[in-house]
Each structure stands twice: as structure tokens, then as C-alpha cells.
Structure 1
Amino acid sequence: MKRIMLIVSYNGANYCGWQKQNNAISIEEVINTKLKELLKEDICVIGASRTDAGVHAKGNVAVFDTETTIPPEKIAYALNARLPQDIRIQESREVRADFHPRYDKNNKKYSYRILNTKINVPIYNEYTMHASNYLDIELMKNAAQYIVGEHDFKSFCAANTGVKTTVREVYSLEITKNNNDIITIEITGNGFLYNMVRIIVGTLIQVGTGKIKPEYVAEIIAAKDRSKAGPTAKAKGLTLEEIYY
């Protein structure tokens, strides 16, 4: 028996999320089904990040155990031949038998994309959130400095989330804007609470429109109260970029 790691990328628009659910198609379920077809074994992958419906990934991580004689690095190619076009395995390799993608120490990098134009441009619909009001990214950058560091992010966590602690460390938070008026927010940290990135984005959007001042973000963090932060930004703008072990 060997343990195989997969680096998984996907467009989450057509799925109920990573995790298997009744009466809906999940990314986990599709991968399990195609691995079973390929390896002739019952396979249940373990995913590092259980992304929500509509969320995308460039580098999610999953593992499974198998007795196959197919070389580990060849599994990605064979699996891609069976998977739908919106799911792709970027890499497959053998890892140690006790490696766990969720519980082994890791850092994650997410990105969030906002199309900041008066009128929406439909070609960007699947992976950007449209914001018609002008966003001042310099104000947003000023606010971002209060988020970087180790804090109790309870204000930026969905209510009734059962976690032992809401303390997390954000290593970096960078905001850029390209020539197509797409604002990209990149955030890296040692872990993220449920909806944390999307609530941070919703709050930064409020800063960008002038609804709240950048320094008010420090007060939001100190309050430890979800109602003080901005709304949860739409899922479709979020991408899990990479997981570092």
C-alpha cells in the first residue's frame, strides 16, 4: 500500500464545493469516481482544503492510498484523461504513509479577484466578483497593514464555527490592479477560518468605497464580533492558489 499526493486545480463554478454532498456534484466525488475507474479500487481521497461551492483552486492537495502498480507520477496523466475539463491534476507523487494534507503543518495562499468597472464584463464572470463603485486600492492597502500579523480573527469568521481558537497569523496581504481593471488581493497565512478570506475582502471593499476608514479595521479586529466586519464576498472571486508544507 502506498500513499499518493495529488495537486488539484479546478474551476469550482459547476460544483457544490470540494466535499461530497447529497443531491449535488462535488469535486471530491468526481475524483473518487474516476480514480476507481482507473485503479479498480474503492478510493476515498482526503483533501487539504474543503473549498465551498463556486470557489476555485490552482493548487489544492489531496491524498489517497492504493495498491496500484502504476508509477505515481503517471497517475496524473491517466486521471486527467478521464476527468472533466474543469478539473485537472497538476502533479501526482508518492508521499510518506502518515502524511495528512489537512493536519500536517502547512501555510496557504489565496487570491481574490474583483472586476472594478462601471459595467460588468461577462467573460470574467466565473472567477471575479463585479464591483461597480470605484475602489481606491491605496486605501485598501492602508487597511491591509492592520490585518497582517497574528490576531484573533473572530470578527472575520462565520458565526457558530466550531474551532478551538480563532487566532491565526497572516504573513502577507498584497493588493494590485491590472490594465483590465481587475483588482487582485493575495493573502498568505498559517491557516484561515471559515469564510475568513471572503469577509476580509468584503471589509476591504468597504474601505475602498470610503464607507469605513482604513484604521477602523484595527477596531474590527479588537471587537471580536462578526457583525462589525464587512459582508462575505461572493465565492466565485476566490481561488486557493497554493498550499505549502
Structure 2
Amino acid sequence: MITGTIVNTIAVTAGSLIGITFGSRIKTKTKDAVVKALGLAVLVLGMKMSFVNHDFLPGLVSLVLGTGIGEFLDIEIKLDKTGKYLQEKTGSNSGTFVLGFITATVLFCVGSMTIVGAIKDGLNNDPSVLYVKSLLDGISSIILASTLGIGVIFSAIFVFVYQGLLSLLASKATFLLSEEVYVNGISLVGGIIILGIGLNMLELTKIKTANMLPALFIIPFMDFIFKLF
């Protein structure tokens, strides 16, 4: 039922370990350049995800409501505190520990591939989508960990918990796979959040992307409501 999530967790962990092992051999100047390049790639990924056949208004409403809820719950602050706690427990003196942890956690847990893949795994025992995601996340974790450090590996915990819970609750969310509009809606909102991650990596903004995550769960209901009118 959560086979895909287990594989995804292992891929992120293994990729992070590889990145950490060889990252120390990379000069700081090179690391900065790679982070910027990765930021541009994340921007392109976000744009690709958001350019789908879907009305923008439901997505906008979902982002406004979701971000409002995220700000109220202080999701970003809680992740930041979690990152700092993990850093203290591991004794790491990395200046990018928390950044790596939050960036990787949000990046690996956002997007239609995450939600739809977890639902298909739990509902139909079909982990194929998450296998593809595992490959992508594994490669990304190598790059992130080599530049942002050991904090990235702890995102594997959230991948396991988040995707695992989605798979276990899949029977309650079968409608997400019934029509293309729901999948596209998640892709639209997820793409915009990922755009925010890319801008943060380029140090152009300091968007609290974690606070936008509730929008991913609001958009399917917004789509349902908009379909009624």
C-alpha cells in the first residue's frame, strides 16, 4: 500500500548521502553557482507544472485561502524550528542546514505527482508514479545535499510520513483521479509554489513557500465548487 513511498524515502536518503559524501570536495564558489543553476531549473519546473489546462481563478482562490491558513498555523516557522532542532541533535555546524531541510521538504512534497502517485499507490496498489518520482527526487537530493548539506537528508522523514498518510487515506480521495480537472488543479497550485522555491534559491525573494502548502488540499474542493456553477 505504501511501497512507492518506501522506495521514494530510500531514494531521497541514498541521494542525500551521496551528495553529502562528495559535496565536501566542491568549492564554495562552485556550490553557489550550482544552487543558482538548480534554482533556475526549479523555476522552469514550476512554470511547466503551472501551464496546464485549468481555470486560474480556482487556483488563485485556493492559494489565497491556503496561504492564509498556512500563515495562521505558522507552518514555515514550525519547519524552521524542526530544522534547527535536528541541527542541534546532529551537532551540525552547517550554515545551510535549515535551508536545505525546508527546501528539500517542500520540493519533494509538492506537486500533482506526489498526491496522485500516493493515492494510486494506496488505492490501486500501483506505485509506478512514485517510482518515477523516486528517480527524480533521488537525483535532486544528490544535487541539493552536495550544495546545501546534511539538512536535506531529513526531508526523507517528511516524504515518508506525508506520502504514507496520503496513501493510507486514499480511499477517501478517489475523486482526485476521476477527472483531469483535479489533477491539473493540483499541478497548477503546486507549480506556483515550486516557482516560489526557485525564486528563493536564487535569493530574489524570501517567500514562505511552506505556508502555501494548504492550498494543495483546497484546490480540489474549489474545482468541485466551480464545476457546480
TM-score (norm 2): 0.25
Judging by fraction of residues, say which structure has more helix: 2
Which structure: larger Rg?
A: 1
User: Which structure dedicates a bigger proportion of its chain to strand?
Assistant: 1
